[in-house]
Amino acid sequence: MGNNHYDIAIIGSGPGGYVAAIHAAQRGAKVAIVEKQYLGGTCLNVGCIPSKAMLHVAEVLHQLESVEELGITLPQAPVFSMAKAVVFKDKVVKRMTSGVGVLMKGNNVDVFDGLGTVDDSHTVTVTNQGNTQQFTADKIILATGSVPLMPQMPGIDGTNVMNSDTCWNLPKTPESLICVGGGVIGIELACMFNALGTKVTILEMLPQVLAPVDDEVRKLLVRILGKRGITIVTNARVEGIEDDDKQKKVIATTEKGQQSFNAEYVLMAVSRRANTSGLEHLIEQGLDTDRGRVRVNEKMETNLPGIYAIGDLVHGAGLAHVASTEGEVAASNAVGQEMTMNYDVVPNPIYTFPEIAFIGLTEAQAKEKYPEARTERFPWTAIGKAVAMGETEGFTKIIIGKYGEILGAHIIGPDATNLISEYSVAMRGELTVDEISETIHPHPTLSEGLREAVLAVEGHPIHIPPKQAARAR
């Protein structure tokens, strides 16, 4: 078979696939990766990276609203150009995706452009504009990712109806937007469009938005978003979308009965589904699936010998950093180095203003599972660096168990998505709160708040009165 045979073939080049390719290649495997659309997958092209680029633009605009109290007077009101912001976003995306190409070349990974189809004989067929190539591999890692879920309903294919993959190249800022879905994707995008000047309404089918988030954290964020003019309607089941003159009309069943909501654009952000395109033969040949996703064990192995699956294709957290870790686990096992996946310590970032990040159990989960668990919080208003930055909304909450172990941590406030890593390392290393409180944290920094939260749960906070700790919000 010569050059047409590889040790490992990877289908999909998102943060799970390309990391798996690098991991395997660095361990001596001859690796091929197949990508049907663009290197970097959804995350780098239409997901994590473009969204964070545009969220950065939106956050800068949001921060400009309060610069006068810093002694900065702008000669005129800021003028936002969606076209220029899109150019900035495209530059960021191009830099990141080009970097993946450089990494593939640097690690001697062969890249095949086109749709990859796989069968249980480990033959990969790559089709690109009518041209076909074939090769075989000893092991195959499926990393085909996910696509936005577009539920079947009237009007969903109409104009000005977009999803989280297609909302990044608008010609101008929408005057108004209805976001269908109040999960992480919907809330992030709603926060972004609101800061860019769009009137936003969120329709969520469940009784609350951001269902996995700690109740106290979620309630604070909902209040903050409400102050900014974002309307949130829960228990709202969308039935259809219609044209209404130059606007879109979304019809929903709510607690008030049937209601209609009008806006220039509709953003569908209800969920994502596994992308099984190219895996049809494997499914026919017995690839085990459950509710549209591929079943795997702790080694990321499917029920078919020598075939692994990772990322959004399998049941899991649906996070890019989790997909990357799953890619490392799959690649290690594929090259004969045993490794298992552990989901016990997974940090969850949410890029709103202020940011949210959490790990482990919520307060409600902890109380149900561990009656002896203790919870405390420490407000950003008591941290000098946060006050100096003018970022005092929110708090750090920590939940500890019987032996001082960390059961969960929740941060809402400045740079929360970075700060959560300290608690991630602590939980992974099974550190107790004593070991955190005895660690010197630099001053003045935001990280001081993480230590102060630990001191508060022990009843010895430094920068708030002890009796205030239980009430700190």
Task: Give me the CATH number covering residue 461.
Answer: 3.30.390.30
Task: Considering the candidates 122, 321, 410, 443, report the single residue annotated as catalytic.
Answer: 443
List Cβ neighbours of 160 (8 Å cut-off, separation of 6 or more).
Answer: 248, 264, 265, 266
Pairing of β 265-268 and β 272-274: unpaired
Examine the domain organization and report whether 374 and 329 are in the same domain: no
- Edge-first strand order for the sheet with 161-163 is 161-163, 265-268, 176-180, 199-203, 231-233
> 285: domain CATH number?
3.50.50.60
Give the end of a domain, one of 270, 300, 326. 270
Residue 189 tokens, joined: 């995008």
Question: How far does the chain reach from its first CA to its final CA, in angstroms?
Answer: 65
Q: Alpha-carbon torsion 308, 312, 317, 319, what sign?
A: positive
CA distance 308 to 301: 4
* 343 inside domain: no
List Cβ neighbours of 324 (8 Å cut-off, separation of 6 or more).
Answer: 15, 16, 19
CA distance 419 to 413: 10
How many domains does the chain divide into?
3
* 197 inside domain: yes
CA distance 444 to 264: 45
Structure confidence by residue, pLDDT tens digits, 175-210? 999 999 999 999 999 999 999 999 999 999 999 999
Examine the domain organization and report whether 238 and 320 are in the same domain: no
457 burial (CB, 10 Å; 0-12 / 13-18 / 19+) is buried
Predicted pLDDT of residue 468: 55
Predicted pLDDT of residue 316: 83
Examine the domain organization and report whether 325 and 367 are in the same domain: no
Helices (H), 26-72: 41-46, 48-64
Helix, strand, coil percent values for the chain (each to nearest 5)? 35, 25, 40
* 175 inside domain: yes
Q: What does the pLDDT profile of the chain (473 residues) look like in tens digits?
A: 346 999 999 999 999 999 999 999 999 999 999 999 999 999 999 999 999 999 999 999 999 988 999 999 999 989 999 999 999 999 999 999 999 999 999 999 999 999 999 998 999 999 999 899 999 999 999 999 999 999 999 999 999 999 999 999 999 999 999 999 999 999 999 999 999 999 999 999 999 999 999 999 999 999 999 999 999 999 999 999 999 989 999 999 999 999 999 999 999 999 999 999 999 999 999 999 999 999 999 999 999 999 999 999 999 888 999 999 999 999 999 999 999 999 999 999 999 999 999 999 999 999 999 999 999 999 999 999 999 999 999 999 999 999 999 999 999 999 999 999 999 999 999 999 999 999 999 999 999 999 999 999 988 899 998 765 455 44
Examine the domain organization and report whether 306 and 387 are in the same domain: no
* 342 inside domain: no
Examine the domain organization and report whether 283 and 234 are in the same domain: no
Examine the domain organization and report whether 390 and 444 are in the same domain: yes
* 318 inside domain: yes
Minimal CA–CA distance to 194: which of 232, 156, 162? 232
Instruction: Yes or no: say if 16 and 323 are a contact pair by the CB < 8 Å rule.
Output: yes
Predicted pLDDT of residue 2: 42
317 burial (CB, 10 Å; 0-12 / 13-18 / 19+) is middle
Helices (H), 157-309: 184-195, 215-227, 280-284
Q: Which residues of 119-153 are buried (b: 16+ CB within 10 A; e: fewer)?
A: bbebbbbbeeeeeeeebebebbbbbbbbbbbeeee
Residue 1 tokens, joined: 């078979």
Query: 319: which strand partners?
Result: none
* 95 inside domain: yes
Examine the domain organization and report whether 114 and 165 are in the same domain: no
50 preceded by a cis bond (ω within 30 of 0) = no
Examine the domain organization and report whether 264 and 279 are in the same domain: no
DSSP class of residue 40 equals T
Q: Can you give the residue range of the structural domain that contains 375?
A: 354-469
Structure confidence by residue, pLDDT tens digits, 283-294? 999 999 999 999
Examine the domain organization and report whether 128 and 6 are in the same domain: yes
* 196 inside domain: yes
Instruction: Yes or no: say if 155 and 31 are a contact pair by the CB < 8 Å rule.
Output: no
Predicted pLDDT of residue 1: 37
CA distance 316 to 293: 10
Task: Assess whether 410 carries a catalytic annotation.
Answer: no
Q: For the chain, what's the residue count?
A: 473
Examine the domain organization and report whether 142 and 46 are in the same domain: yes
What pTM value is reported for the model? Answer: 0.94
Predicted pLDDT of residue 354: 95
Examine the domain organization and report whether 86 and 201 are in the same domain: no
Pairing of β 237-244 and β 395-400: unpaired
* 455 inside domain: yes
Examine the domain organization and report whether 72 and 130 are in the same domain: yes
